[in-house]
């Protein structure tokens, strides 16, 4: 059953969110796991849809209760994690489940659920990644620099993944991911 679980990871601003949105709109049997985080909501983000926004204490309580499938400190600042119960429920109801998480989380899922497929979404080039991050304009220069540092480490870890898909064009990238899910 856990072979219906797909973990999507990849560097900041590679466009994972856009690819996932495209998949959800076009493939109804796919369920996206909503993560929990201790970071503050950005303008327009919705509680329970974008993330479950938790205090550090609430987050740590969930870890202690064994309610996180995986979790990690991302970009050296905040905790992000996958609430376990909704994922298991979606798999049990026959859905294909996508986790959009960072590479540390991807490694944990591979350990606890070895049949999960790990897909790395890569940018067409480093320059294109920098351009997408700067163009997004949602982070300060300092935050952008921190994210690019993390991105270097993440790109170096591509070989740990079962598949690498280049996000050159959203629809093409999404259909490649869907093909992998159904393989
Ligand atoms: P952002 O702050 O831009 O929403 O997300 C920052 C990073 O956190 C992204 O690279 C994203 O993949 C990662 N992330 C989001 N949710 C989770 C999660 O549940 N677990 C882990 N390990 N990483 C996550």
- Output the ligand 1 site: residues, CB below 6 A: 12, 35, 39, 70-72, 74, 80-82, 100-102, 104-105
Per-residue pLDDT at 3: 64
Residue 74 alpha carbon to ligand 1 centre in Å:
7
Q: How far is the CA of 10 from the centre of ligand 1 (A)?
A: 10
List average pLDDT for each run of 10 residues in the chain, which is 183 residues long. 85 92 94 97 95 98 98 92 97 96 95 95 96 89 92 93 97 95 83
Q: In the chain, what are the domains? A: 5-182 (3.40.50.300)
152 phi and psi, to 5 degrees? -60, -45
Distance from residue 80's CA to the centre of ligand 1 (Å):
6
- Ligand 1 probe mutation, 6, 8, 20, 37, most atoms within 8 A of CB: 37
Structure tokens at 10: 């990849």
Q: Quick one: pLDDT at residue 1?
A: 58
Q: What is the pLDDT of residues 5-57, one digit of tens each?
A: 999 999 988 999 999 999 999 999 999 999 999 999 999 999 999 999 999 99
Q: How far apart are CA 103 and CA 119, in angstroms?
A: 10
Question: Cβ–Cβ contacts within 10 Å for residue 90, how many?
Answer: 19
3-state DSSP of the chain: CHHHEEEEECCCCCCHHHHHHHHHHHCCCEEECCCEECCCCCCCCCECCCEEECCHHHHHHHHHCCCEEEEEEECCCEEEEEEHHHHHHHHHCCCEEEEECCHHHHHHHHHHCCCCEEEEEECCCHHHHHHHHHHHCCCCHHHHHHHHHHHHHHHHCHHHCCEEEECCCHHHHHHHHHHHHHC
CB 133 within 8 A of CB 16: no
Q: What is the pLDDT of residue 2?
A: 62
Beta bridge partners of 77: none
CA distance 168 to 15: 10
């Amino acid at each position: 059953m856990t072979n219906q679980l797909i973990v999507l990871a990849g560097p900041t601003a590679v466009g994972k969110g856009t690819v996932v949105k495209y998949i959800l709109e076009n493939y109804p049997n796919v369920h996206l796991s909503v993560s929990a985080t201790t970071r503050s909501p950005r303008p327009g983000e919705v509680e329970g849809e974008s993330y479950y926004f938790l205090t550090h204490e609430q987050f740590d309580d969930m870890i202690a209760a064994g309610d996180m499938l995986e979790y990690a400190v991302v970009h050296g600042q905040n905790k992000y994690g996958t609430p376990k119960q909704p994922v298991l429920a979606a798999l049990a109801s026959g859905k294909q489940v996508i986790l959009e998480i960072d590479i540390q989380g991807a490694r944990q899922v591979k350990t606890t659920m070895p049949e999960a497929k790990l897909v790395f979404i890569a940018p067409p080039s480093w320059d294109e990644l920098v351009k997408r991050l700067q163009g997004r304009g949602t982070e300060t220069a300092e935050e952008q620099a921190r994210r690019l540092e993390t991105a270097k480490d993440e790109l170096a870890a591509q070989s740990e993944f079962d598949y690498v898909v280049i996000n050159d064009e959203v629809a093409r990238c999404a259909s490649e991911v869907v093909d992998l899910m159904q393989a």
